[in-house]
Amino acid sequence: MFDFLPTTIPLSIVITILAIAAIIIGISKSGFGGSTGVIATPLVANLLPIEQTLGFMLPILMIADIIAIKQHWNNQSWKHVRWIVSGATLGVLASTILIFLLANNTATLDTYIKLVVGILCLFFVVFQIARDLGMPLPHIPETRNGGITCGTFTGTVSTLSNAAGPIVAIYMIEQNLGKKRMTATMVFTFAIINWLKVPGFLFLGILSPGAVLLALCFLPFIPVGSLLGIWMHKRVNETLFNAIIYAATALSSFSLVYKSIAP
């Protein structure tokens, strides 16, 4: 059932990395609205085939969503949630169709999506660093069309990589909702988007018994990450934390890109 686990890496290292990914997701969802969880995808994708990566991470994300929703209830902006989810529905559908079209060639699917994940994550790191440095960035207006456009990109990227947090973070920062309301809105948005992905992932076989069972083994690490996220949200210097996340994401993403293009 777990025959997709790598045989060239010691099992203890595989377990440690998967546990770290689950903890990071918990930290990100509860403390930072999901924007820093981008590192989890390249971490796991460096170990597992892309289909098992997506299948492993979705249940982890959904449980983390439930915990985070309880923590951030009544702080969300439903207007922004509706706008983003409306567009995300189209993005999820488009990406599901793309995966289906590539499904007959597993090697091609694995290589292309890992390459896309690596490039996207690197782009997000550069974009976030530019934002933190105060560099001028494209402005996304607070309109229904702006939210739907953001949502379409979010749904597409989230389905392919489970790493769309920075897209919504960039949009939400422009809306000036404040840290608490922004975090809550992102939590509710991704909770809905993750459920939108379930039918397609079941149809495509991505939510396979092996991937789901593996995710269940690491569920206990999510509350640990959630508690850490709440503590860090109040006490840890967010700039320092983001710098560490960006560096680790860049390294993991470079590894994915290299493995995808190396002969």
Residue 166 located in a structural domain: yes
pLDDT digits (tens, 9 = 90+) for 10-20: 999 999 999 99
- Domain contains 3: no
pTM: 0.82
- For the stretch 88-138, pLDDT in tens is 999 999 999 988 888 777 667 778 878 887 887 788 778 778 877 777 766
Total domains in the fold of the chain: 1
Q: How confident is the model at residue 72 (pLDDT cuts 50, 70, 90)?
A: confident
Q: Which residue range(s) make up the domain with 77?
A: 11-261
Banded pLDDT at 203 (limits 50, 70, 90): very high
Q: Is residue 6 part of a domain?
A: no
Token output for 77: 């902006």
Asked if residue 5 belongs to a domain, the reply is no
Q: Nearest 5°: CA angle at 157, between 156 and 158?
A: 95
Tell me, yes or no, whether 251 lies in a domain: yes
